[in-house]
Homo-oligomer: A and B are copies of this chain.
Amino acid sequence: MGLSRRNVIPLYVQVEAALRQRIAQLRPGDPVPSDRALAAEFGVSGMTVRQAVGRLVDEGLLYRAVGRGTFVASPRMEKDMSGLTSFSEDMRRRGLRPSSHVLECTIQPASAEAAEALRLATDSPVVVIRRVRFADEIPMALERVALSALSFPGLVDEDFTTQSLYEILEHRYHARLMVARGTLSATAATALEGRLLGIRPGTPLIIVRRVAFNERNEPVEYGESRYRSDRYSVPIELRRPPRLDIAGLLSDVSTNVSRA
């Protein structure tokens, strides 16, 4: 197993990849060599090994136990169940072919809600796109999104029948959406919604309302999707908030012995 300095790939990524291969041949609960042993084996420093192992721990492939060692975690039920993806990506992942019928694609003054979510002045121009979303020709969802028209000039002229909004944002505007937050609720389909989705009025719809943010944590997309609950379920992954609250601890700390 050769690692390479003078390579674009950081050492810790190389170590991570090597460990990944090794883990694949182990069973859950099996120990992985200690940090020190790995450092010696790969000829790198302890911090570098630690960084590599840390990433695999974050990913859930390994877990650490102080004083005992590092071990292979149990495998996930499925991989990539959750994550920020566009409808197109989402459907392709499920092995379905996505397409759209564009109901509306215009520039109009931002609604109060959209303006607040996108942190724009009220009445700022936004591009509003409303689509019926299909998977293998079957209507799956209604979607309405709003983006700042000033931030994305020319966006309104794109063809959203086949193109993915997220891919346009990434390739044409170099805007990469990193995280979305919002809420999920449910409602009964109205007559109009039922007609557009080919279901009976009253059928439950899953509502996903969200704001998507770029790398700088600036809001980029405000949107709402309404999915047929008979044909769609949303994969979720919930993590325990790990951060411990030490508010107010600092003042105590400062009264203790301070540094030499």
Q: Which residues of A contact B (CB under 8 A)?
A: 1-7, 9, 13-14, 17-18, 21, 28-29, 43, 47, 55, 59-60, 63, 71, 73-78, 80-85, 117, 119, 176-188, 202-206, 208, 210-211, 213, 215-219, 229, 232-241, 243, 246-247, 249-250, 253-260
A-B contacts, 12 of them at CB < 8 A, read A4-B259, A29-B216, A74-B219, A78-B181, A82-B238, A84-B241, A181-B238, A183-B233, A183-B235, A184-B234, A204-B229, A234-B236
Give the complex CA separation of A232 and B1 in angstroms.
53
Cβ of A63 and Cβ of B184 under 8 Å apart? Answer: no
Residues on B with beta carbons closer than 8 Å to the beta carbon of A13: 246
Contact assessment for A83 and B181 in the assembled complex, using a CB-CB cutoff below 8 Å = no
Number of copies of this chain that the complex holds: 2
Please tell me if the beta carbons of A7 and B250 are within 8 angstroms of each other in the complex.
no
User: Does B236 contact A177, Cβ atoms closer than 8 Å?
Assistant: no
Q: Which residues of B contact A241 (CB under 8 A)?
A: 80, 83-84
Q: Could you tell me if A183 and B59 are in contact, using CB atoms closer than 8 angstroms? A: no
The answer to whether B219 and A14 touch across the interface, beta carbons within 8 angstroms, is no
